[in-house]
Amino acid sequence: MGLSDYYVGCDLGGTKILSVIYDADFKPIGRARKKTKGHEGQEFGLKRIGDTIEEAMDDAGIATSKPGAIGIGCPGPLDLNRGIIREAPNLGWVDAPVKSSLEARFSCPVTVANDVDLGVYGEYRFGAGQGCRCVVGLFPGTGIGGGCVYQGEIFRGNVTSCMEVGHIQIMADGPHDGAGNAGTLEALASRLRVAAEAAQAVYRGQAPALRKKAGMDISEIRSGALAHAVENGDEAVIRIIENAAEYLGVGIVTLVHLLAPDVVIMGGGMVEALPDLIVKTARKSAKQRVLPSYRDQFEVVAAKLGDDAAVMGAAAWGRHSLEVAANNDGS
């Protein structure tokens, strides 16, 4: 393979690092996964990212080659221009120089971007958003992540990422989110909120299937346990999830009115576990509330790529950034 015949996508998470090698047609040819072990320190963590990439290259049989580009999705506030993680509370990292660390190790261009943004870009290029002018992603989890690709470019600020859709204000008062703000989309519709309400249903004796599967421990009430409860007829849990999905629809209305996307893609573990219930309810909620002139201009669909969305998006965004830089140099 030549110097630019393959591209690396990497997804840095709070618990795992996933690296995948893609050929020029974006077919995966090697992959590796490691636990992040962020608590062992920033320097150790940066080396571990590089080690995961090297293992993926070895798996692809190209250990001695140089990548065309590396794209990496990272959590936390980022300095996108310098490729630095400003702060990652789940990892304990501050001002982590991801870009310069990887460029020094692999001698190729490295692009750092928000992990959710890259998941949306992956869906835009290879999944549920192919061929669309404007794609918005909505990913309920512990919080609620969002992203937007507009005419082939990731929608972003001058220095940092944007689309913090979980902090959209839905009501003037209500439960508080992780940032301490009341009545936000995250406070009303995240998986953490759903789990908290489901635990109360277990306590009241209204969710026998969930009680048997996970008990009242919120940390055990994850997406699979919620899906089990729905499949086994826990009506209280079904109502809790439907209520959260209706709020997600309210959030979608705001995004549609601001950005007029062709498609809103919903993903994350809870949506993957319960796509019909969540996507259909959110779609109905959004269509009922949006201005009539917008009603037939967008769709709400489930993501297609699962866990590989961010790494595929990272590799493709790394290549795209390389091509943009080359065009700018040539102009």
Class of 128-302 in CATH? alpha beta
Q: Are 199 and 218 in contact (CB under 8 A)?
A: yes
pLDDT bucket at 89, cuts 50 / 70 / 90: confident
For residue 2, name the pLDDT band (cuts at 50, 70, 90).
very low
Calculate what percentage of the chain has a pLDDT beyond 70: 98
Q: Is the pLDDT of residue 26 over 60?
A: yes
- Is the pLDDT at 3 greater than 80? The verdict is no
Q: How far apart are CA 57 and CA 53, in angstroms?
A: 6
- For the cut 80, the answer to whether the pLDDT of residue 4 exceeds it is no
- CATH code that applies to domain 6-114: 3.30.420.40
Banded model confidence at residue 331, pLDDT cuts 50, 70, 90 = low
CB neighbourhood size of 140 (10 A): 32
Paired strand residues for 140: 144
For residue 278, give both structure tokens. 């969540």
pTM flag (> 0.75): yes
Vertex 62, ends 61 and 67: CA angle to 5°? 145
Beta-strand runs (E) in the chain: 6-12, 16-23, 28-35, 69-74, 78-79, 84-88, 93-96, 110-114, 134-140, 144-150, 153-154, 263-266, 299-302
Question: Mind listing the pLDDT tens digit for each residue in 184-197?
Answer: 999 999 999 999 99
pLDDT of residue 250 exceeding 50, the answer is: yes
**Domain positions in the chain:** 6-114, 128-302
Helix 115-126 crosses helix 308-330 at what angle (to 10 degrees)? 80
User: For 104-163, how does the pLDDT look when each residue is reduced to its tens digit (9 = 90+)?
Assistant: 999 999 999 999 999 999 999 999 999 999 999 999 988 899 999 999 999 999 999 999
Burial track 311-320 (b if 16+ CB lie within 10 A, e otherwise): bbbbbbbbbb
Note whether 6-114 and 128-302 share their fold. Answer: yes
**The pLDDT of residue 233:** 97
In this structure, what are the phi and psi dihedrals at residue 88, rounded to the nearest 5 degrees? -130, 90
Here the tokens at position 119 are: 């998941």
